[in-house]
Amino acid sequence: MTRCPHWRRVPPGLADEARTRAASGCVDAAVQCQLTASHAGSEHYGFLDETDRCTALWLRWTGADQVALAVHTDCPDTGPLPHGDACCLFAGHPGRHTWESGPPAEPPAHR
Ligand SMILES: [Zn+2]
Ligand SMILES: [Zn+2]
């Protein structure tokens, strides 16, 4: 699975608000949608920062003018054992879990 290719610049007003809510106090100037490519629905979600242990701040947008901050609980689903990878998205997200795309940059298995 590949990542949705959509990027969104974080509007200055929302960036200021996000900084006051983000755990780290800083957010990126632009974010890429974290959902899988060709995800259901027209809303894109870019990750900004954690807000606390199990919630995170997201930038949600549907077009040039439709952009807002959204706080979501982390997706509780984990991948199959033995790895049990955590999903990097939020509960109820459209599309697949991030661990369904397979481990990133894992060397080829021994033959
Ligand atoms: Zn998207
Ligand atoms: Zn998930």
Rounded distance, CA 87 to CA 4, Å?
16
* CA 29 to chain centroid: 15
Q: Give the dihedral of Cα atoms 35, 36, 38, 39; nearest 10 deg.
A: -50
Rounded distance, CA 45 to CA 87, Å?
14
pLDDT of amino acid 20: 96
Distance 66 CA to ligand 2 centre (A): 24
pLDDT of amino acid 102: 53
> Please, which pLDDT band fits residue 101 given cuts at 50, 70 and 90?
low
Ligand with the closest atom to the CA of 47: 1
Reported pTM: 0.84
Distance 90 CA to ligand 2 centre (A): 6
pLDDT of amino acid 32: 96
Ligand with the closest atom to the CA of 100: 2
Distance 25 CA to ligand 1 centre (A): 25
pLDDT of amino acid 41: 84
pLDDT in tens, 3-61: 899 999 999 999 999 999 998 999 999 999 999 998 988 899 999 999 998 999 999 99
Rounded distance, CA 10 to CA 19, Å?
11
